[in-house]
Structure 1
Amino acid sequence: MGSKRLDWIDIAKGIAITLVIVGHTVPNPSPLRHAIFSFHMPVFFILAGYTFRPKPWRELLSGSVSRLLVPYVVLALAWQVPTFLMSSAPLTSGTLVAGLKTLVFASGVDVPGLGVTAVGMTWFLAALFTSRLLFNVLVRLFDGRDVRVVWQGVICAAIAFCGLSVSRFMGVYLPLDLDLSCYIALLMWIGYTARQRGLEPSASKPLLFIGAGVAWLVLAALSGLELSSRRVDGFLVATVAALAGSYCVCWVSMALEKLKDVPVLGAFERGLVFCGQASLAIFAIHAVDWFVPWQTMPLLMTLPASWLFASIVRCACDIGLAYVIKKA
């Protein structure tokens, strides 16, 4: 993949990580939050598929453990340990077992029926780890059996639907988000196939961008998607809405890439490239910034549209801290 392509991918990741912060700051429920959640996490998974290369198992495991599983454990503990200390609860064997269950399940929400508490935002890292392993199996199977692309899509969609059915309809959540990873593998396949077939967005085709934008607006309003809680209301409609929204993000990213030499817009483009390159660091900072009462700060609450100012301040803090750490 050339450097130019990496630039637009970084911009898309920069947009997506910014929307993650905003989506966690705006009122819940709200139309804006609904709109953001309809595509902001799928962008990451689709791009993960776009940049995916099948690897030998030892190489895949080594890279995925160091880049995803280890940060997951560190960030999960960085959230869970202070939370436990502030609760003033006694440290018992039962508490340790409950904490271990939380780490093993890696669920973004409480696991019904098992008494397992949510691990918080870090579910994303565990789910991506499991999804990479699952998707590597699928790609090697497809390549080894010479499965046609249409049947690949059917198989991935069937696996995704079954995985969601296990958690949503049967109430069974699997360790390391394996049930959710079945759906994520479908999103990764979409990105992977787009690269294989040369179907990535082109900034020279504005009509496709407009069509995707209209499709996203309509379909997102008719469905609901929140991956941390396994909420995919209207499987087909929600998935197409996520794809359309992700297409728009990638199209805008390619358009911004072409403006990198324009004085003001070029600085904005470089800022988004940084956010994309540092998206994991920004995510890590954001994963532990929940101790700050962004939505209820007295200074911000006195302002009109306080959620807007809270989002701006939160983005500035998370991104700014990531920048300082990188430059240190």
Structure 2
Amino acid sequence: MTVESSFVNKQSDARMDWIDMAKGLGMLLVAIGHLLPEGSNIRMFIYSFHMPLFFVLSGIVYKNTSSSGFFKSRLFVSYLFFSVTFVIADLLVRVLLLGKYEPSSIIWEVYQTISFYGINVLWFVSTIILCKWIMGKLLLIKNKLAIIGMVGVLFILTGWIGTFYTMSSESYSIIRLALYFPILAILRPLNVLIFYVIGYFSKKYIIQVIQNRNTTGLVAIGVLILIIVWGLTPYCGNVDVHIMTYENIVLALFTGLSGSVAIIFICSFFQKCFTLTAYLRFCGKNSILFMVLHEYLFMSLIVNLILSAVHINNIILYIVGTIILTSLIIYIIKDQVDYCLEYLSNKFLGNNIKTRS
């Protein structure tokens, strides 16, 4: 075992709080970004780094084990479980609330699932699964700089290709749509792999910085970086990893990495605040459930209906209400969901399943 791996393994005996906290804060930013109106400066600012943050964090916790377990993970079971949940929920809404049934919509949702494009927010889960598999192959190359250079070039190329293909597919025909989903499903992991790889290779250095530096200094650096990212937002333009659109691909790489580092530094400071730490860790440990509930199981719709009933039109109350309601529902159902995922993992994939991916 190398000195580097020995150092890192000492940290993995107990899950690092700042990772869960950074995931939790990132998840809150995802929710806020989804609820803000398109084109707003704050939304563009959040989108410039919030998804790269998750891929950096996933790279940090990646373990270089056998890549044969492509489908044998809790993450893959979660992907299938929530995909089926969405299809059923969508069908019930269409039949019971809208009073109409459109078989084509359900068919496309199933197709998005099997093509690994992912329904709605589940694109992130399918992309992480593919990143983990590709990472196992990449690490067969022993030269770190060669790997970083390779994935850097892939980021630029796939970003350009994805943006061009998405823009040219605005008038969807059936054939183009059928091709669009699997093509994007392939391009996305190749595109975000740069964040995953840098997260993996920088883990030791990030831990050293957090342990050896004053956390007040780190939060000051993190805030300064976010101010710089905010200033660059108009030049970076719209960034949407989901549908692969970049207005400035090079600047998007910079804001994605720098914004991720800023959030990690800030979360190292938050560990001093118990209440905030507990809540961010709660959101981080249940990040997939948070992502699923706030976006497509109608939490925001419910809050909007309540505010409309009392004649309140306030974006801040709308966002805060959605986050609070989502958090409450997660607290109520998380144990039942965990039980279902554990049962399905053991039932269909055997007992040697990772409980956390």
Matched pairs, number = 304
Counterpart Cα distance in 2 of 1:285 and 1:96: 19
Does residue 1:241 correspond to 2:258, yes or no?
no
Does residue 1:185 correspond to 2:199, yes or no?
no
Q: 2:100 — aligned with what?
A: 88
From the superposition, tell whether residues 58 and 244 of structure 1 become closer, same or farther in structure 2 (CA, over 3 Å).
same
Does residue 1:169 correspond to 2:164, yes or no?
yes
Question: Offset at 1:216?
Answer: 1.5
> Scaled by the length of structure 2, what TM-score is found?
0.75
Question: Offset at 1:302?
Answer: 4.0
Q: 1:57 — aligned with what?
A: 67
After TM superposition, list the pairs within 5 Å mapping 1:174-253 onto structure 2. 175=182, 177-198=185-206, 202=210, 204=214, 205-206=217-218, 208-223=221-236, 224-253=238-267
Q: Specify the SS of the correspondent of 1:59.
A: coil
Does residue 1:321 correspond to 2:329, yes or no?
yes
Among 46, 56, 62, the alignment partner of 1:46 is 56
> Scaled by the length of structure 1, what TM-score is found?
0.81
Unaligned runs of 5+ residues in structure 1 are 109-118, 260-264
Q: Specify the SS of the correspondent of 1:123.
A: helix
Question: Offset at 1:62?
Answer: 0.6
From the superposition, tell whether residues 294 and 76 of structure 1 become closer, same or farther in structure 2 (CA, over 3 Å).
closer
From the superposition, tell whether residues 87 and 6 of structure 1 become closer, same or farther in structure 2 (CA, over 3 Å).
farther
Counterpart Cα distance in 1 of 2:322 and 2:299: 12
After TM superposition, list the pairs within 5 Å mapping 1:151-162 onto structure 2. 151-162=146-157
Counterpart Cα distance in 2 of 1:292 and 1:281: 15
From the superposition, tell whether residues 68 and 200 of structure 1 become closer, same or farther in structure 2 (CA, over 3 Å).
farther
**Aligned partners of 1:17 and 1:282 also within 8 Å:** yes
Counterpart Cα distance in 1 of 2:155 and 2:99: 38
Q: Alpha-carbon deviations, 1:59-115, whole Å to 9, x = none?
A: 343116544432353344245433553462454xx666544323234547xxxxxxx
Counterpart Cα distance in 2 of 1:19 and 1:290: 18
Q: 2:139 — aligned with what?
A: 139
Counterpart Cα distance in 2 of 1:67 and 1:164: 29
**Aligned partners of 1:25 and 1:295 also within 8 Å:** no
**Aligned partners of 1:72 and 1:125 also within 8 Å:** no
Q: 2:280 — aligned with what?
A: 272
Q: 2:351 — aligned with what?
A: none
- Letter in structure 1 aligned against 2:45: A
From the superposition, tell whether residues 210 and 23 of structure 1 become closer, same or farther in structure 2 (CA, over 3 Å).
closer
RMSD, aligned α-carbons: 2.8
Unaligned runs of 5+ residues in structure 2 are 1-10, 167-178, 337-357
What percent of counterpart residues are identical?
Answer: 17
Does residue 1:19 correspond to 2:34, yes or no?
no
